[in-house]
Amino acid sequence: MMLAFAATVLIATQASTEPPRDFVLKIALGQCWNETIDTTGPTFSRSLSPGETLTATVSLTPEHRRRLYALVVEADLWGYPRLFKPAGETMVEELPPSDFTIEAQANGRRTVVQWLDRGSMRPEAVRLRAMIRGVRALFAERPEARRLPASRMICL
């Protein structure tokens, strides 16, 4: 009985993270350099210097797509306002704040979230930051993206 329950939970969990056919995720990350992630290519772009951007077409397996979709679902991206300004933000003095534009589509629903991350520790900010880090790590670790030169931008 317990084994059947565990199998049902496992199947339900896998089904809930299976990306729908219309799943698209685009993230533009900026600080003093810019990177763009887009699942439609799928591509990973990096600004090397002002006006100079290189793009790598990356290969994503079905497991990668499931992981990307799971990150979006875990973050509850559709629950964020278009302009996300969490309470309790503080200006990070050591680094300029990161600027994000996140677009997602799945199951006929589309959302766009814009966020200037000033270091809020609110749960929704922490959750969104974790999603962005997970997505970026997945793309940046692909061999095609690793071949891109490092940004020559200097942060002041």
For residue 53, list its beta bridge partners. 47
61 touches 47 (CB < 8 A): no
Q: How far apart are CA 30 and CA 50, in angstroms?
A: 13
The CATH class of the 19-146 domain is: alpha beta
pLDDT at 89: 64
DSSP 25: E
Cα torsion 131, 136, 25, 8: sign: negative
Q: What is the token pair recorded at 120?
A: 């809020």
Q: Which of 68, 62, 130 is nearest to 105 (CA)?
A: 68
Task: Write out the H or E segment, with its range, that includes residue 113.
Answer: strand 109-117
Burial class, 91, CB count within 10 angstroms (exposed 0-12 / middle 13-18 / buried 19+): exposed
Q: Please list, in sequence order, all residues whose beta carbon lies within 8 angstroms of the beta carbon of residue 130, skipping any fewer than 6 positions away.
A: 71, 75
Of residues 19, 17, 24, 63, the one with CA closest to residue 41: 24
Q: Could you tell me where the DSSP H helices lie in the chain? A: 2-16, 62-75, 123-140, 143-146
Within 10 angstroms of residue 9's Cβ, the number of other Cβ atoms is 10
From first to last of the 156 residues of the chain, give the pLDDT tens digit. 444 434 333 433 444 579 999 999 999 998 766 899 999 999 999 998 888 899 999 999 999 999 999 999 999 999 999 999 987 666 555 556 789 999 999 999 999 999 999 888 899 999 999 999 999 999 999 999 999 998 887 765
